Amino acid sequence: MSDHELRVSKIRDGTVIDHVEGGQALNVLAILGIDGSEGYGVSVGMNVPSDRLGRKDIVKVEERELSQSEVDVLSLIAPEATINIVRDFEVVEKNRVTRPDSVTGVLSCPNRNCITNAGEPIDTRFDVVADGVRCDYCSTILRSDIADYIDV
């Protein structure tokens, strides 16, 4: 796309989460715990044309970098995402997300009878499997609704 057609402005400093599967941008914001009240500059492009994905979403957060656990959870809903760190208008770092083998302490289990919901001091742990993530304790599988169970 030429600068001509840019839909979302470039940012000076912050993080651009690019190549997000179309329709997942609001879930990306949920994962980052951003609802606008924090004061960060946030730009969201939805269903932007993309050579690689057909349509993609893009999320730009100014003055903010991501933690590894945030990136781990992001990879579950946006496996093709690229995380770009921008400083003084330049992309200084670009990383594809990679799916972790498991995520600990970032998702809650939807099963009310799961030991992780019993008020015990136990971190949740989900193994990443082909069709979603599976609770280590009760084997409940979360699929497309992973974002609803984020606890970070």
Residues at the annotated binding site for Zn(2+)?
109, 114, 135, 138
111 binds Zn ion (CB under 5 A): yes
Residue 8-47 contact track with ligand CTP, rule CB under 6 A, x = bound:
--xx----x-x-----------------------------
Residue 50-89 contact track with Zn ion, rule CB under 5 A, x = bound:
----------------------------------------
Nearer to ligand CTP, 16 or 114 (CB): 16
- Tell me the DSSP string of the chain: --GGG-SS---SSEEEEEEEETT-HHHHHHHTT--STT---EEEEEEEEETTTEEEEEEEEET----HHHHHHHHHH-TT-EEEEEETTEEEEEEE----SEEESSB--S-TTSGGGTT-S---EEEEETTEEEETTT--EE-TTGGGGB--
Nearer to ligand CTP, 89 or 113 (CB): 89
Least separation in angstroms between residue 108's CB and Zn ion is 9
CA atoms within 13 A on the CB side of 116: 20
Q: How big is the site for Zn ion, counted in residues (CB under 5 A)?
A: 7
Taking the CA atoms of 52, 68, 91 and 64 in sequence, report the sign of the dihedral they define: positive
The item of ligand CTP, Zn ion, none sharing an interface with residue 89, based on CB under 5 to 8 Å by kind, is ligand CTP
- Which residues of this chain interact with ligand CTP, rule CB under 6 A? 10-11, 16, 18, 58, 60, 82, 84, 86, 89, 91, 94
